[in-house]
Amino acid sequence: MQDGFERLWTPHRLVYLQELQQPADEDCPFCSAPDKDPEDGLVVRKGETCFVLLNLFPYNPGHMLVCPYRHVDTYDKATDQELAEMAKLTQEAMATLEKVNRVHGFNIGMNQGEVAGAGIASHLHQHIVPRWRNDANFFPIIAQTKAMPRLLGEVRETISNNWVEKA
């Protein structure tokens, strides 16, 4: 019986499901990033309760994450202040990417918990993925490769230096 869905078979991703590649809480990369040099931590913006950093394994150039400083795992455990600042920083990140990269759209979302696909399940983070018309090609599917036109350090510097603040 057909259900109307096309299938994209990606058996190479099975390792993520089988090995549950999650760091221990004491090794959380989101907890340590704000204390590092911004270049090493890939941090582009710091707020009072949250910060923004580049994704070390981006889906597209400029793929950012908004995280609370506090080590909390799910959205329902974040404080009202953290939620408000996550929203503000998300808006600013979008405006910044529109300014510096002329994006055509965004994917914004959260994966809550390992079963939902969170790469770092123990620390809440929201993805901001810039999108452009025709930004997908055969590389990720056929060659398991994502073509990235700029180095992370260059992307971090450009975004950080051109951050658009929301009043």
- Catalytic residue numbers? 125
| Beta bridge partners of residue 43, listed in sequence order | 53
CA distance 131 to 127: 12
> For residue 141, what are the contacts with CB-CB under 8 A and spacing of at least 6?
8, 10
Query: Among candidates 58, 28, 55, which has minimal Cα distance to 44?
Result: 55
Q: What are the backbone dihedrals phi and psi of residue 80, each rounded to the nearest 5 degrees, phi first? A: -60, -40
Q: How many CB atoms lie within 10 A of CB 54?
A: 22
Q: Residue 64: what residue type?
A: M
CA distance 140 to 10: 10
